[in-house]
């Protein structure tokens, strides 16, 4: 089994823990990761873009000038796509960008992302993450002890409002839970901070 270093909240190395090879030691599937990211970002889009075509633009009911004798090209409406202020030809219309991925592929993509984090040496594991009160300073000190000065994704095993609110005002820090993590967030952040409990819960669900 693969092994990861285990740290305390003070930043001291406590030892090692064994983790499942099936989740944290796979060869990342780049194609699957790309598909998962594209689908996730597409599902976030509102799809409310709209441009008016010539039938929807106001005005243009009268022929702008006579058909013949002017020396200019014939025109039937000032709202033609050829005119400034006219309609748009083949413009964007409201649509849904939502796509789905089979459950097995979603699970495999998440495993690939977690394995990529381990191979990229961007994952740190804490023995526990408990704060006494909601305090941004306490969370900032924790991150400083672990030398996490870049964007960091914190993954917890269960709901922890104290940690969540303490990290809310720190730029680049995102708090997620085992049941809400996704491929995009894992790849986007420079560092991933997990607790030993969240590792074990991941193994229960995905191993």
Under DSSP, is residue 105 helix (H, G, I), strand (E, B) or coil? Answer: helix
**String of b and e for 35-69 (b: at least 16 CB within 10 Å)?**
bbbebbeeeeeeeeeeeeebeebeebeeeeeeeee
Q: Tell me, what's the pLDDT at 2? A: 83
pLDDT band at 150 (very low <50, low <70, confident <90, very high): confident
pLDDT of 188 above 90: yes
Percent over 70 (pLDDT), the chain: 100
Q: What is the 3-state secondary structure (H, E, C) of 129-149?
A: CCCCCCCHHHHHHHHHHCCCC
Tens digits of residue pLDDT in 18-69: 999 999 989 999 999 999 999 999 999 999 999 999 999 998 888 999 999 9
Which pTM does this prediction carry?
0.82
Q: Tell me, what's the pLDDT at 1? A: 76
Mean pLDDT of 146-164: 91
Q: Tell me, what's the pLDDT at 3? A: 87
Span of 147-151, 167-171, 200-204 with lowest mean pLDDT: 147-151
Report which of residues 72 and 207 the model is more confident about. 72
Read off φ and ψ for residue 154, nearest 5 degrees: -100, 125
Tens digits of residue pLDDT in 81-127: 999 999 999 999 999 999 999 999 999 999 999 999 999 999 999 99
Average pLDDT taken over every residue of the chain: 92
Cα 171–chain centre separation: 16
Q: Tell me, what's the pLDDT at 207? A: 76
Q: Tell me, what's the pLDDT at 6? A: 92
């Amino acid at each position: 089994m693969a092994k990861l270093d285990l740290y305390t909240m003070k930043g001291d190395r406590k030892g090692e823990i064994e983790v499942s090879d099936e989740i944290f030691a796979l060869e990342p599937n780049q194609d699957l990761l790309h598909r998962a990211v594209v689908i996730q970002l597409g599902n976030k889009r509102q799809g409310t873009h709209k441009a008016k075509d010539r039938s929807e633009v106001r005005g243009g009911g009268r022929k702008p000038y006579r058909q013949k004798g002017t020396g200019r090209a014939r025109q039937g409406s000032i709202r033609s796509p050829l005119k400034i202020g006219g309609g748009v030809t083949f413009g964007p219309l409201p649509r849904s960008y939502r796509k789905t991925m089979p459950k097995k592929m979603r699970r495999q993509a998440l495993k690939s992302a977690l394995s990529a984090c381990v191979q990229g040496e961007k994952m740190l594991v804490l023995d526990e993450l408990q704060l006494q009160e909601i305090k941004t300073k306490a969370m900032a000190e924790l991150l400083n002890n672990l030398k996490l000065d870049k964007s960091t994704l914190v993954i917890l095993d269960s709901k922890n409002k104290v940690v969540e609110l303490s990290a809310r005002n720190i730029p680049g820090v995102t708090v997620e839970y085992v049941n809400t993590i996704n491929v995009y967030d894992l790849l986007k952040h420079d560092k991933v901070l997990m607790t030993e409990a969240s590792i074990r819960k991941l193994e229960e669900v995905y191993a």
